[in-house]
Structure 1
Amino acid sequence: MPRPRSTRSEFPGAITAGVIVVAFSLILLCHNPLAFWNDDYQLSVLPVFADMARSWSEGNWPILSPYSWVCGNLTGEFQYGTFSVFINAAVILIWKFPLTFPQQAAALSITHLFVLAIGAFLLARDRGFSIPLSTFVALVASLSGWIICWGATDWFGALGAFTWLPWIWWGAKRALDPQRTKWRFLWPAPFVYLVVTGGFPYTVLMLLLLIGWLSVKTMWERRERRDGRDTEVPPTLAMLPMLFGVALGFGLSAPAWLAILDLVQGSARELQSPAAHWQWLVPPAALPGLILPCWTVNWADFSSRYLPHTATELASGLVAPAALIAGLLWRGRVLVKQIKWELLLLLLVLLLCMIPTAGLFRWSFRWLPFFHLALAICAAEALQMAPRSATVATTTLGLVVLTAIAMLILRASGPYAFPLVWIFIALAAGWYLSELALRDFEFRTWIPVSITFLAFLTTYYFMPTNCGVPTYNFSQELLKPAPLDRARLYLSIYPWAELTYCVANKPEPVGQTLRPGSTSMWAGLHFINGYSPVRPAGVAREFATSIHGEINPKVGSYLLNSQAGKDGELALLGVDGIVVARELDITPQPSSEWEQIVSTDEGRIFHRRGAPLARVRSVASIDSRPNEQFVASTISQIDDSRNRVEVDVDVP
């Protein structure tokens, strides 16, 4: 039995693979400086990270935020990775540099892509792949369509968590290796912690599926063995180091998952429409997009509408699906025997991409990063077994041509077929010719890696990495509070941000007055509004806020017309500032209580007359006890910090 590989000896190659991914990302950034700056990254992720950096600079752990009531529980919102040591360290470091918003987003995503590539490389090397094939696995895992088009550019939590899934796979395999020391159970623990605290519940499901698959695979394979030093250990006991390490990782991450389990109780997320489970499923008709990402068929979008959509999320660098298909065609029996468990995992994850989920989970295409990782492993096995890569190159050329013909016949070409199809044909033909002409070339094994790199680059150069989500023109002026007042608590009433203030409808800078989503956190302004997928019980449900921070228009009209007086609900909450969008014809009443301070192109700002309301006050009654009256108390010595409030209360 071969000795375990030395981790230290593999890191130069792993870092090289990571550098290749960084170089790719920088090329993408040069092509489009706003590539990593879209939708949720703008409304939610980056403003919260700015607040986290501010919190650390003040000497506080960013557990809560005083700048949003809806999104005040940063730990419970989960997606910000507030308990992840790595994410916090990256945020602290990146915010030390004078970068613009798009540059901060790019730096954060590229950092995680670099680490993801290293983990995928180490996983591949532990499976016995060559350095070129391990680099190939790293490229497919970190540059696949869903990771680039959603994880790295929109839903950062998905990238922040998935970055560590290859590391868990790598660590779990080491924990299962009986040749390693008795401390081998420690290998998966830190990576389980980093996945769970990374901020994406779907990746926790991927983790559980991976551990379950490894457990079943280990038990089955050990029962089949009849010799070897490890057969004396019962299959059930052989899994204990891995399972103990996973349990340890979940224990380390307990504050993160306990926080979201607590916050989600009674939240609007619990009451989400069943229709959400049928949105963003991978349609079977889209699978040719694994070969040609410009393949266009109908997908169910966020509004459950079936609209034409390119298969950019399925982009896999051409070589991976072609190599696996070639292996199954030319050496199917041998390949299936070699990787039957990996193929089972691949097909299972693909099925999960296509069927609706249940409970709090939605949008099953979020399984695609795991699918691409499994695909890369299976394809690398096929390439390693191929006696001549010319066979794979021939199959690749044939698949591209056949898919292009099918695209024309089925009218699935979409708007980006030209020149992408011709470039893919040229890449496949160039690969085939190079295999014939460079049989004795020393670096011939790097040709599939080069084709993968160029296929990804071509895909993201000629097709938008933004898959139809809105973008906003947020300027650096949002770091300044003007024309608002940091001493006041604001309620902002505005229409749907993604429709009204996106670049397509408002190309000029926006947000300075309304502060949509969680953008108030950039300037340290206190708002009721905030971006929250959970929308926890309390003010978020009371005001019927949407995910992007909008107040329900009917609720907003009721609050401003009936609850804005000195004894109204807004006064009880401490709201002494109101922002109303230009598109809405509402004014807080009574007019004797409010005065208009500023009117801009975005909207109007109203302040309650007099000085700002105190943050901590004594009240005589509360709605939950309508028949009781309380004695007014004297509040003094107020210490209103980020995560706690300490006061001296004198009750007469």
Structure 2
Amino acid sequence: MTTLVRRSARGPLVAFGVCAAVVLIAQIPFLRNRLFYVWDDSAVQFLPTWHYLGGRLLEGDWPPLLDVDNWMGGNFAAEALFGIWNPVNLANFVLVNQFDDLAVAAVVVKTEFLVLLALGAYLLCREYGAGRGPAAVIAIALPFSGFTLYYDAATWAAGLMAFTWLPFTWWAARRMARGAGSPLWAFLFGALAVTTGNPYGLLGVCVVMAALLVESWVRGDRPALPRLLVVGGLVALLVPLVYLPLLGSSAVTTRAGQGFASDGVLMPRLSDLLSLSMASHQPMVRGFGHSIRMITPSVYFAWFIVPLLPWLHWSRLRERWRPLAGVFAVAAVYVLLAVGPSNMWMFRFPLRHLEVVYLALGVLFAVVLTGGPKLDHFRRRALLTAGALVLSAYLTFSAGPWQWRHHVISLALLVVGIVLALWLARRRLAAMYGVLVVGVAAGLVAQTAWFPFNGDVAVHNYPRSITELRAQTPPHEGTTFPVGSVLPGNVGLVAGLSSVGSYTGLQFRDFASATCMVYHGNTCAGSFDRIFAPTDLDGRPLVDLIRAGSVGVDNSVRPDVQPPPGWRVSFRSETVTVLSREQPLPWPDGRLSHATAGVRVTEDTSPDDRDESVRFTKPRGQAGSLVFARLAWPGYRVELDGRELTGRQGPAGLLVVDLPADVEAGQVTLRWTPPGLPLGTALALLGLLAVVAYSGFLRWRSRRPDPAPLVDADHEPADHEPADREPTGRERADA
């Protein structure tokens, strides 16, 4: 009994050790470069927006669907990738809001997801029968593979969040399929993956569910098929809630890189996988701009994979291919995606798929490493390892010969590490696994010395302290229109600057065209002339129609700018000139920016971003229009004293309401609801209720006596049961 208790307690202890190891190793990049985790998109989009959304949540605004002052980047429902329906994301938004230093907030949140990813990978490896040691080693190595660390963790945070929930979904769905777990867990983790808002999470859930169907069919496990289909269908009911607002807004938006194309950007080659254990390898993969080589080790997986290949129990893959069929299916699909076209609808940059390939390969590796390496035919295996290392080193040298010192160090680490690991494998297997984990940390120390940041993406230099950032932000009045780059992306959300420029994955087509604004919020020098040019609405310039109180001009883009009539220079420095209005704007309580001739506005109030009310009078028989400093996002409902009107796009895509000629006075009300939100909410609630009912039904049925149990001749009773102990030296020799 004591032995059983010790064995049952060992599993949670190992899982805790995995989490603790990842927490410690994740600090290595931060200690080398405290901005490592707040880089590129994380710096100008995710962290500032998380901080801002956390503040709105604390004020009771849930869900935060729209921020009209954030303009193109303010439609959070359509943007999707912030995951406003994901409870873990919302909790992290509130957490980030408590930090003044965004770099510290980034390392806390990114470490959290790296730990969760490792835990999910550990559980998945164990589910497929891997021993605790190999499962732990793979779980610790996976979060620090090249793409996951340098891209997902450092820059594209939504990708990290989506990938984190994939191994949990896979693990819970497989347990449910074989009758060992509740459908609630599979639904919960699938829902977390889908509601991150990153389409790669949705793709991963679809591929995993399909792979498990294949696995169940191959194994002849017929009862698993309906369970997977039902739970997969219920998870799919969450998709409209997340993506209908995005699809409903597509008529007025554009997104770079949509459609099907292949320009070679971030498209790895299968030959790159031969160097997945070389920490210094910079693959010959086309990056952004004119780069023909990645600056980061983006195809790196783990240092021990290639050296240990000749020492593994490969016969297990042949013997247990049926229970491992799902892993093979996931690996095959994602290999094809990783080497496929660079643009496939919403999915760009095939390198993103490589981390799921590594997850699947990691599971297989953990299975064939269980029990330790095979130590017979030692000389032959050693020669194969030497040949594999020489080939990897040569390919790495060929890709970047001027970095030969780094390559020598990488090769030396591999040689020393594998020799020590194999020496310990004969004596104490747990010590060998410890060496593999220490090697993960040592490799990361070397990598962060050679590649302290992701040089393949944009660098944004601004203070990460919110207090310091606000102190350095130029003074402004009301909404500021940027000419050039005043503050990058969504940084204005935390800097106290209400800026028309924002970072978005969805450009409002007419607004971007009229203002010469790109997706990251910067504008061209000609945008200054555009916003002051008269429009067809009584000649009012666009700067008035968007209710801009200030215009911030990047001096490097438009030097020595002079204020137009009605404007003055309120601030000037070496880098920025700020122009402000001489007279305040009318209707300060709302977002009405213009009423055409003959229309007299008596009241304009906007209690929140989604609602507005305008009272007016005008001569009967005369038409008129109201123009609002709001983008005409699909979803606006306009009423005049209960009579439905139709809003339309005006200059730069602004919302315009035309008043009927037969009305003398009245009250116009606006209400914005994301397209598809009512339907999406109803389907999501239906899915939640249905999975609870289905779980109860399965639990009730499992308690019914089965008078005639069926016997499966092909059943493999231990294929899902993880090993409870490591084999002895004699058992390893016999193997």
TM-score using structure 2 length: 0.75
Contact 2:313–2:369, Cα closer than 8 Å, also in 1: no
**Offset, 1:445:** 4.6
1:588 and 1:422, CA in 2 relative to 1: closer, same or farther beyond 3 A? Answer: closer
Alignment of 1:392-407 (within 5 A): 395-407=384-396
Verify: 1:309 aligned to 2:285, yes or no.
no
Alignment of 1:263-302 (within 5 A): 263-269=249-255, 272=258, 278-302=264-288
1:398 to 1:360, Cα distance in 2 relative to 1, 3 A = same
Q: What displacement does 1:558 show?
A: 2.6
Classify the secondary structure of the residue corresponding to 2:237.
helix
Distance 1:38 1:215 in 2: 39
From the superposition, tell whether residues 156 and 415 of structure 1 become closer, same or farther in structure 2 (CA, over 3 Å). farther
Distance in 2 of aligned mates of 1:355 and 1:465: 27
Secondary structure of 2:161's match? helix
SS of aligned partner of 2:553? strand
User: Alignment RMSD, CA only?
Assistant: 3.2
Corresponding residue of 1:421: 408
Matches within 5 A, 1:211-250: 211-222=209-220, 235=222, 238-250=224-236
Q: How many angstroms does 1:132 deviate by?
A: 1.3
User: Structure 2 stretches of 5 or more lacking a match?
Assistant: 1-6, 618-664, 666-735
> What residue number does 2:436 align with?
448
User: Counterparts of 2:171 and 2:209 in 1: how far apart (Å)?
Assistant: 12
Residues 501-516 of structure 1 correspond to what in structure 2 (within 5 A)? 514-516=486-488
What's the counterpart of residue 162 of structure 1?
163
Q: What secondary structure does 1:38 align onto?
A: coil
**Post-superposition shift, 1:162?**
0.9
Counterpart residue identity of residue 297, structure 2: T
In structure 2, what residue type is equivalent to 1:533? G
Provide, for residues 550-584 of structure 1, a one-character-per-residue CA deviation record: whole Å limited to 9, x for no partner: 22444443334556998212212212321111112
1:79 aligns with 2:81: yes
Is 1:69 aligned to 2:41, yes or no?
A: no
**Aligned-pair distance for 1:306?**
5.0
Q: Select between 281-290 and 349-358 the one with higher mean Cα deviation.
A: 281-290
In the alignment, is the contact (CA less than 8 A) between 1:490 and 1:527 conserved in 2? yes
Q: Summarize the Cα distance change of 1:174–1:601 in structure 2 as closer, same or farther, 3 Å threshold.
A: same
- 2:479 aligns with one of 464, 481, 489: 489
Identity across matched positions, percent:
22
Change (3 A) 1:64 1:338: closer
Tell whether 2:19 aligns with 1:18.
yes
Provide the secondary structure at the position in 2 that maps to 1:377.
Answer: helix
Written as runs of structure 1 = structure 2, the 5 A alignment for 1:514-553 is 514-553=486-525
Q: Is structure 2 residue 558 aligned with structure 1 residue 585?
A: yes
Corresponding residue of 2:654: none
| Contact map agreement 1:296 1:308 (CA 8 A) in 2 | yes
Q: Following the alignment from structure 1 to structure 2, what is the Cα–Cα distance between the partners of residues 317 and 573? A: 52
In 2, the alpha carbon distance for the partners of 1:566 and 1:605 equals: 24
Change (3 A) 1:333 1:620: closer
Alignment partner, residue 188 of structure 1:
186
Shift of 1:358: 1.8
Larger Cα-atom Rg: 2
Tell me, in whole angstroms, the C-alpha distance in 1 between the residues paired with 2:256 and 2:148: 27
Inter-CA distance 645–45: structure 2 relative to 1 (3 Å threshold):
same
**SS of residue matched to 1:634:** strand
SS in 2 for 1:265: helix
- Are residues 49 and 481 of structure 1, via their aligned partners in 2, closer, same or farther at CA, if it must alter by over 3 Å? farther
Q: What CA deviation, in whole Å up to 9, does each residue of 1:300-336 have, x standing for no partner?
A: 2223x35232561111112234445654878875576
Query: What is the one-letter code of the residue matched to 2:186?
Result: P
- Are the counterparts in 2 of residues 619 and 632 from structure 1 also a CA contact under 8 Å? no
Residues 1:633 and 2:601 aligned together: yes
Structure 1: which amino acid aligns with 2:209? I
- How much does 1:293 deviate? 3.9
Cα distance 1:58–1:158, how it changes in 2: closer, same or farther (>3 A)? same
**Partner of residue 575, structure 1:** 548
Partner of 1:458: 446
Cα distance in 2, alignment partners of residues 427 and 218 from structure 1? 39
For 1:338-357, list aligned pairs within 5 A.
339=324, 341-356=326-341, 357=343
2:28: which partner in 1? 27
- The match for 1:616 is 591
Which residue of structure 1 aligns with residue 470 of structure 2? 479
**For structure 1, which segment, 246-255 or 166-175, has the greater mean C-alpha deviation from structure 2 after superposition?**
246-255
Mapped partners of 1:187, 1:448: distance in 2? 32
- Displacement of 1:74 after TM fit? 1.6
Cα deviation, 1:180-206, whole Å, max 9, x if unaligned, reads: 5xxx22221111111112132122212
Alpha-carbon distance change, 618 to 442 in structure 1, aligned in 2, over 3 angstroms: closer
- How far is the alpha carbon of 1:68 from its aligned partner? 1.1
Residues 77 and 263 in structure 1, CA contact (< 8 A), matched pair in contact too:
no
- Residue 604, structure 1, aligned to residue 606, structure 2: no
In the TM superposition, what whole-angstrom CA distance separates every residue of 1:133-161 from its partner, at most 9, and x where no partner exists?
Answer: 12122123322111100111101110111
Instruction: After superposition, give the CA deviation of every residue in 1:518-576 in whole Å (9 maximum; x if it has no partner).
Output: 11101343221100122134523543421211224444433345569982122122123
In structure 2, what is the Cα distance between the partners aligned to 1:328 and 1:443? 18
Change (3 A) 1:257 1:11: farther
- C-alpha spacing 1:165/1:271, structure 2 compared with 1 (3 Å): closer
Task: Verify the 8 A CA contact 1:560 1:589 in the aligned structure 2.
Answer: no
Residue deviations 1:24-60 (CA, integer Å, cap 9, x gap): 0113221221211211111111111111011012211
1:471 alignment partner AA:
V
**Which secondary structure state, in structure 1, belongs to the residue aligned with residue 475 of structure 2?**
coil
Q: State the shift of 1:457 in Å.
A: 3.9
Instruction: Classify the secondary structure of the residue corresponding to 1:431.
Output: helix
Retained in 2: the 8 A contact 1:494–1:580?
Answer: yes
Q: Please, what TM-score do these two structures have when normalized by structure 1?
A: 0.83
CA contact (8 A) 1:633 1:649 kept: yes
* Larger deviation, residues 152-161 vs 457-466: 457-466
Q: Which amino acid aligns with 1:431?
A: I
Deviation at 1:241, TM superposition (A): 1.9
CA–CA distance in 2 between the matches of 1:426 and 1:77? 44
3-state DSSP class of the match of 1:299? coil
Question: What does residue 412 of structure 1 align with?
Answer: 399
The one-character-per-residue Cα deviations of 1:630-652 (angstroms, maximum 9, x if unpaired) are 6222115x2432x4334362444
* Deviation at residue 599 of structure 1 after TM alignment: 0.9
For the 8 Å contact 1:117–1:141, the answer to whether it is kept is yes
1:421 counterpart letter in structure 2: V
2:520 & 2:593 partners in 1: Cα distance?
32
Question: 1:22 and 1:197, CA in 2 relative to 1: closer, same or farther beyond 3 A?
Answer: same
